[in-house]
Amino acid sequence: MTVRTTRYYAGLGLLPPPIRRGRMAYYSAQHRARLELIRALQDHGFTLAAIEKYLAKIPADASVEDLAVQRAMLTSWKTGGHEVVTKRQLEARAGRKLDADALQRLTAMMSIEEVEDGRFEILPAFGVGLQVLDLPIPVDSMVEAGEAINRHMAELADELTAVLKDRVLTPYLESPKSEADKAEFEHTMARLRQLTLEAVVSGFQRAANQVITRSLSR
């Protein structure tokens, strides 16, 4: 992050003023922790105004460990962060022209999402959606499948987040913490996300195979 951006965030009140000694401005570990939290919020699509409201709820004297916990819970599950592009940039990423039908199909498969000003957010399933584009599958079936996936994934995410908060986050917050504990917690959260995604895929494969087996038995 540039010095100019850091000063801009401080001017907005997102960061406390630096420690000044003469003409030098010193930023502490707390400043860095807040900058990392701002990045995590931006990855989730928060505007600077929304980030300002979020940070206003966090005590000014919040420790580095407390800020790290906030960031760990907010860290995006997708790689690459929050990426919004124009249609031309989207086509460059796809390596092909995308007409209205292709955009509709990609949206139905939750590979992209149209946002303001005719731009698009690239979602984690973008690569998969491109591979499915040329398959002779009706758009309405994609919409129906996408709605089913979104509905069940939202419910699953709610349940898993509750488990994470009650079983992992709360005990961590209630226990004494050192700098080493903070680093271990961040590593644990990152690894837990990876394993959870793998478990979701594996669980669906197992459930789908069970459906096939029951169908054949009937």
Q: What is the pTM of this model?
A: 0.59
Chain centroid offset of residue 28 CA: 26
pLDDT (tens digit per residue) in 168-207: 877 877 788 777 777 787 778 778 888 888 999 999 999 9
| Neighbour-count burial of 17, counting CB atoms closer than 10 A to its CB (0-12 exposed, 13-18 middle, 19+ buried) | exposed
Candidates 38, 39, 33, 26; CA nearest to 65 is: 33
Looking at residue 6, what DSSP letter applies?
H
pLDDT (tens digit per residue) in 18-58: 889 998 989 998 899 899 899 888 877 788 888 998 888 88
